[in-house]
Amino acid sequence: MNPLISRSLFHLGGDKMKKINEHVIYRREMCVIEDIQKIGSKDYYTLSIFNDPSLKVKIPADNETLIDPVMTKKEALELIDEIQHIGVLDVGERNLDLEYKKLFNTKDRKDLIKIIKTTYLRNTARKENGKKAQEKDSIYFERAEKYFYSELAYVLDMPIKEVKKFVYDKVQEKENN
């Protein structure tokens, strides 16, 4: 095999490299691998953020812990089916911010759902009591929704707005059965 071709397909250790135009998750963001280039003696991926292709990130190709595969359609549908069984956070106000940050640093998509459910319920309860929604809850809610629905939109091949309705309808359907 041509050494230039083999370098673009495999790390020196024989592990399969990601490919250009492959979709991956990097720090919870949906990304597209735009380029693979050698800088010094290392290969680097150039990633563009799925929702904002003008944002670019270069990461070492040999550190596979930085990126994760996008879930499959089957995994996405199974996760949607589990939503009603995923709990909310049960921590005091004082520790809530720290807990949100911890959950954002995991690679478990169920943690995004916990954040979405917790922040939504907290803000709804505050509004029902005549109070304003807390800014930190709103920020975490929007961020978790962006990460969760971006990946689902790609996997299910739907616009984000349709994905939200699709998920809502599926959850309602499960609750009514």
Instruction: CATH number of the domain at 101, please.
Output: 1.20.58
Same domain, 44 and 77: no
Same domain, 61 and 89: no
Same domain, 91 and 163: yes
Other CB atoms closer than 10 Å to residue 153's CB: what's the count?
21
**In whole angstroms, what is the distance from residue 6 CA to residue 15 CA?**
11
Backbone angles phi, psi at 124, to 5 degrees: -65, -45
Other CB atoms closer than 10 Å to residue 113's CB: what's the count?
23
Same domain, 16 and 87: no
Same domain, 159 and 78: yes
The pLDDT, as a whole number, for residue 15 is 53
SS3 state of residue 22: coil
Domain boundary (29, 50, 69) is at 69
Domain boundary (25, 41, 69) is at 69
Amino acid letter for position 148: F
The pLDDT, as a whole number, for residue 17 is 82
Question: What's the rounded mean pLDDT across residues 35-45?
Answer: 94
Q: How many domains does the chain have?
A: 2
- Name residue, tokens 């106000």: 93
**In whole angstroms, what is the distance from residue 36 CA to residue 25 CA?**
16
> Which run of H or of E encompasses 67?
strand 67-69
Same domain, 81 and 163: yes
Q: Quickly state the pLDDT bin for 163 (edges 50, 70, 90).
A: very high
Give pTM, 2 decimals.
0.84
Same domain, 81 and 150: yes
* CATH number, domain containing residue 25: 2.40.10.170
> Which run of H or of E encompasses 42?
strand 42-49
pLDDT, one tens digit per residue, over 127-137 is 999 999 889 99
Same domain, 117 and 146: yes
The pLDDT, as a whole number, for residue 1 is 38
Domain boundary (42, 69, 96) is at 69
Angle of helix 93-104 versus helix 109-128 axis, rounded to 10: 150
Question: What's the rounded mean pLDDT across residues 15-20?
Answer: 80
Q: Are 33 and 20 in contact (CB under 8 A)?
A: yes
Q: Domain of 166?
A: 73-175
Same domain, 80 and 157: yes
Same domain, 86 and 163: yes
Q: Quickly state the pLDDT bin for 10 (edges 50, 70, 90).
A: very low
The pLDDT, as a whole number, for residue 64 is 79
Q: Quickly state the pLDDT bin for 102 (edges 50, 70, 90).
A: very high
**In whole angstroms, what is the distance from residue 123 CA to residue 133 CA?**
5
pLDDT higher than 60, residue 43: yes
